[in-house]
Amino acid sequence: MEVLLLAGLSAIYVHKNREISGLSATGAETGEQAGDFIKWVDFQVSASALGKAYEYDRDTFQEEVHLNWIELLAYTAARTGGDFSNESQVNACLEEAAEKLTQGKTTEELTEGMKYYDYYLEAYTAVLGGMVGEYEIQVAAKSASGSQTDEGDAEKLVWERRYGLKAFLPIAKDFPYSDYDDFGVSRSYGYRRKHLGHDMMGQVGTPIIAVESGYVEALGWNQYGGWRIGIRSFDKKRYYYYAHLRQGFPYALNLEEGSIVQAGDVIGYMGHTGYSTKEDVNNIDQVHLHFGIQLIFDESQKEGNSEIWIDCYQIVKFLYRNRSECARNDETKEWYRIYDMREIGENGNN
């Protein structure tokens, strides 16, 4: 297994501190020694593995040993060569790691001799690093009788501190959609290329939700994506791309480049714009959201031939457990989240 793993990983990435030659895609240094960063990530973690590792993390938050879901997944990947297709094998690896750590073994002891554990830890942290943690969210206050108040009444909402999944599905709660794993399939508009995202089919006007908190880095028209939004995570490792938004009114009110958004915010509306150099044109046959996740280990990878886009289908399946509940403003006919959220930590409000 280790021989096969060595051959596979050597072909797709260069690990930190490995001596290599050549400059970045821009031909210039970018703060680190040129090329001294991960070059590719083949993210194959299944939704079931994400869920199982997450539940270990969430359920042990206040225990003597708090298990870290990313470390559990990195350990499993180092054991399986990054292959999560064998569910029984994956579950056995996760259970073994959780048991040994809970019994007092350190992560360093557990992973000693695992040649690629550090790679997977760094790669998976880049993918999942902003999805789990402490946060505060509004919940419906309870009346004296113990029943919930009208959840649309903002005056009767109270803040509750939580630990757990703070990332959201990109489609608002109670709005239907369909999808399948279409990452890498062929596209021909403009030029022949691979589809580097995940399409979620639905209805025009479906509220689109910010998966993670961050700031709006791109907003406007692109002939391929139509009206689109690009949101960068606070740690700058993830760039979330939402494309083909609604004709005429694609974005949430007051959204602009540089805006800070919270995970769960309504940021735009599903449509089928794009495939046109002219703005505000519906040239996409099927109404859908194109959702993509780009990883950035160095700014030279942001645009050009060095871009790293991952297959996020399994992530979307995992995020289905956390959908933002929205309500409609009858006056503006726009949608807004019912329960606000506040980040806790370096980039949060508290």
Check residue 181 and give its pLDDT.
85
CB 234 within 8 A of CB 347: yes
pLDDT at 18 over 70: no
Q: What is the rounded average pLDDT for all residues in the chain?
A: 87
Check residue 344 and give its pLDDT.
86
Q: State which amino acid sits at residue 268.
A: G
Phi/psi at 278 (5° precision): -90, 135
Q: State which amino acid sits at residue 107.
A: T
Per-residue confidence at 193, pLDDT binned at 50, 70, 90? low
Check residue 183 and give its pLDDT.
76
Phi/psi at 322 (5° precision): -135, 95
pLDDT at 192 over 80: no
Phi/psi at 177 (5° precision): -160, 165
Q: Which two tokens stand for residue 137?
A: 């969210």
Class of domain 178-343: mainly beta
Per-residue confidence at 4, pLDDT binned at 50, 70, 90? very low
pTM, to two decimals? 0.86
Q: What digits encode the pLDDT tens for the residues 101-160? A: 999 999 999 999 999 999 999 999 999 999 999 999 999 887 444 555 554 454 689 999
Burial of 235 (0-12, 13-18, 19+ CB in 10 A): middle
Q: What digits encode the pLDDT tens for the residues 172-187? A: 999 999 999 887 776 6
Check residue 7 and give its pLDDT.
38
- Distance separating alpha carbons of residues 289 and 177, to the nearest angstrom: 10
pLDDT at 25 over 80: no
Percent of the chain with pLDDT over 90: 76
Q: State which amino acid sits at residue 125.
A: T
Q: How large is the average pLDDT for residues 179-208?
A: 82
Spell out the domain ranges in the chain.
2-27+34-128, 133-165, 178-343
In order, the DSSP letters of 230-264 are EEEETTSSEEEEEESBPSS--B-TT--TT-EE-TT
pLDDT at 16 over 80: no
Q: Point out the least confidently predicted range of 154-158, 262-266, 270-274.
A: 154-158
Q: What digits encode the pLDDT tens for the residues 34-43? A: 568 999 999 9
